A = this chain, B = another copy of it.
Amino acid sequence: MTKNRLHAIVCKGSFFVFFCRERYNKKDMNTHKNTLGILGGGQLGRMMVEAASPLNLKIKILDPNPEAPCANMEVDFVVGDFNDEETVYAWGQDCERITIEIEHVNIAALKRLRDEGTVVYPQPEILEMIQDKGLQKQFYATHDIATSDFEVVENAQDDSRIAVPCVQKLRTGGYDGKGVAVLQTAQDKENAMPGPSVLEPLVDIEKEIAVIVARDEQGNIETYDPVEMIFDPVANLVTRLAAPANITQKQSAQATELATALMQKLEMVGILAVELFLTKDGQLMVNEVAPRAHNSGHHTIEACVTSQFEQLVRCVMGLPLGQTRLKEPAVMLNLLGEPGHTGVAQYIGMHEALALPGVSVHLYNKKDTKPMRKMGHVTIVAPTIEAAHANADAVEKVLKVVG
C-alpha cells in the first residue's frame, strides 16, 4: 500500500472516528446508518452476530446458502453469491460498514462500495493480496517478514526449482486445508493439482503457532497470546488448540513481534490471524494469514477479556480495541463430522461432555454433517493448561457428530 493510500485511509478514518464517537448518541441509531454488513453467514459470522448482540448493532449478511448458520439470527439475511460483483454491490448499498467472515469474496464490488463512501475493513486491496498465496508470500519477502523459501509457479508439474518433498499450495481458492498438498515423490509432483501454485520446501516443524492481531483505524494494535495448534495430519485441519502455547517466553515474544510487524506493514484494519511455524532449529516464520476471525481464536470467547469476534466488530465499527488478556488457560477442540457419516447431524455424548469441568459447547447450527465438516467447537477452561488438556482428552473421547 502506498503512503498516499494510507493517508487517504487515515483521513477517512478520522472522519469516522468522530462519527463513531456519536454512534450511540444519535436518534437514528436504529436506521441503516448503523448497519454492519458481513459477507458470509457461516459459523464465523454466527459468532460475530452473537458477539455483536450486546452492542445493539444492526447486521446485514450475504450468503448463498438459505440454511447458513446465520440465516435465522437477528440479522437482515440476504441469499446471494458473495463472489458476484453486482450482487455484493447491491447488497452493500445500505451498509454503513462492511467486513467479511470469508476472504473469497468479490473484490471489485468492495472497491466500488468503498470508493462511494462505505467503510470496508479489511481494506479490499489487502483482501485481494491475501486471496492469492503467491502475492502473500511475495509480500512477506519484500517486507522482511520471516517465511519459508518458496517459488511461485504456473504449474507444479513443470517446475524444477523446488525438489520433492515439498508443499504445493494453489495460489487461489484454498480453504480449510483444501488446495494444499504435500508432494513426497516425483510421482506426486507429476500428479500435482493443476494451476498457479506456490511451492515450498518441507520445513522441519516443531510446533505450529498462531497469533491474532487486532488493529484499529488509528493504528493501535492489540495482540492475543500465541496459541499452539495441533492438526489432523490427514484432513490438514486444526483439531486442538492450546492457549497459551507451550513455548518459551522468548519464543512467545518473538512470535508476537513478528505478527505485529506484519500487521503494521499491511496497515490493515481488523483482525489478522497469523499462522507461524516454529522450526526444529528454533526459527519462527510466517506460514500464512487469515484477515478475519479465525479458528485459532475461538477460545477467546471464554478465555480472554475480549473475544476475537467482539474485537473484529470493534475494529470495523470504529470502536476502541478491547483488552486481550487471557483470563484462564484454555484448550479448544474442533468438533468435526465423524468420518463415514453423512446426513442430519446427531451429537453423541453431549450430556457427558457438558458434565466435564470448564466445558463450553458451540454448535454451528448446521443441519447436515459430513466427514470432517466443522460442526462446532468445544472450549475447555481450567486454572492450568494441564487440567484443560486432561478435560479436553475426556471431551474428545465422548463427543462425536454422526449422521
Query: Footprint of B on A, CB under 8 Å?
Result: 20-21, 23-27, 29-30, 46, 50, 53-56, 72-74, 302, 305-306, 310, 314, 319-320, 322-323, 325, 327-328, 344, 346-348, 350-351, 354-355, 357-363, 365, 367, 376, 381, 383
Closest 5 CB pairs of A and B: A24-B347, A320-B355, A24-B350, A54-B362, A56-B363
Q: A54-B363, A319-B351 are in contact. List 12 more A-B contacts (CB 8 A).
A: A21-B351, A25-B346, A26-B346, A46-B53, A54-B360, A55-B361, A56-B365, A73-B73, A305-B360, A322-B354, A322-B360, A323-B358
State in angstroms the CA–CA spacing of A381 and B304 once bound together: 10
State in angstroms the CA–CA spacing of A361 and B350 once bound together: 31
27 residue pairs A–B, Cβ–Cβ below 8 Å: A21-B351, A24-B348, A25-B346, A30-B367, A50-B54, A54-B360, A54-B363, A54-B376, A55-B361, A55-B363, A56-B363, A56-B365, A74-B74, A302-B305, A305-B358, A305-B360, A305-B381, A306-B360, A314-B354, A319-B354, A320-B354, A320-B355, A322-B354, A322-B359, A323-B358, A327-B327, A327-B328
State in angstroms the CA–CA spacing of A327 and B23 once bound together: 32
The interface residues of chain B lying within 8 Å CB-to-CB of A322 are 354, 359-360
The interface residues of chain B lying within 8 Å CB-to-CB of A25 are 346-348, 350
State in angstroms the CA–CA spacing of A355 and B25 once bound together: 16
The interface residues of chain B lying within 8 Å CB-to-CB of A30 are 367
A238 smallest CB distance to B (angstroms)? 19
State in angstroms the CA–CA spacing of A25 and B352 once bound together: 12
The interface residues of chain B lying within 8 Å CB-to-CB of A327 are 327-328, 381
The interface residues of chain B lying within 8 Å CB-to-CB of A328 are 305, 327
Task: Tell whether, in the assembled complex, residue B314 and residue A357 are in contact, meaning their CB atoms are under 8 Å apart.
Answer: no
A324 smallest CB distance to B (angstroms)? 11
Task: Tell whether, in the assembled complex, residue A29 and residue B359 are in contact, meaning their CB atoms are under 8 Å apart.
Answer: no
Smallest Cβ-Cβ distance to A375: which chain B residue: B56
A223 smallest CB distance to B (angstroms)? 15
The interface residues of chain B lying within 8 Å CB-to-CB of A350 are 23-25, 319
A76 smallest CB distance to B (angstroms)? 10
The interface residues of chain B lying within 8 Å CB-to-CB of A26 are 346
State in angstroms the CA–CA spacing of A182 and B56 once bound together: 37
State in angstroms the CA–CA spacing of A376 and B314 once bound together: 18
State in angstroms the CA–CA spacing of A376 and B355 once bound together: 32
Smallest Cβ-Cβ distance to A356: which chain B residue: B320
State in angstroms the CA–CA spacing of A26 and B343 once bound together: 12
A58 smallest CB distance to B (angstroms)? 10
Smallest Cβ-Cβ distance to A351: which chain B residue: B21
Smallest Cβ-Cβ distance to A400: which chain B residue: B25
Task: Tell whether, in the assembled complex, residue B351 and residue A320 are in contact, meaning their CB atoms are under 8 Å apart.
Answer: yes
Q: Which of A314, A360, A383 has the most CB of B within 10 A?
A: A360
State in angstroms the CA–CA spacing of A365 and B29 once bound together: 11
The interface residues of chain B lying within 8 Å CB-to-CB of A305 are 302, 328, 357-358, 360, 381
The interface residues of chain B lying within 8 Å CB-to-CB of A348 are 24-25
A4 smallest CB distance to B (angstroms)? 28
State in angstroms the CA–CA spacing of A74 and B55 once bound together: 17
Task: Tell whether, in the assembled complex, residue B54 and residue A361 are in contact, meaning their CB atoms are under 8 Å apart.
Answer: yes
The interface residues of chain B lying within 8 Å CB-to-CB of A74 are 72-74
State in angstroms the CA–CA spacing of A55 and B354 once bound together: 11
Smallest Cβ-Cβ distance to A20: which chain B residue: B351
Smallest Cβ-Cβ distance to A23: which chain B residue: B350
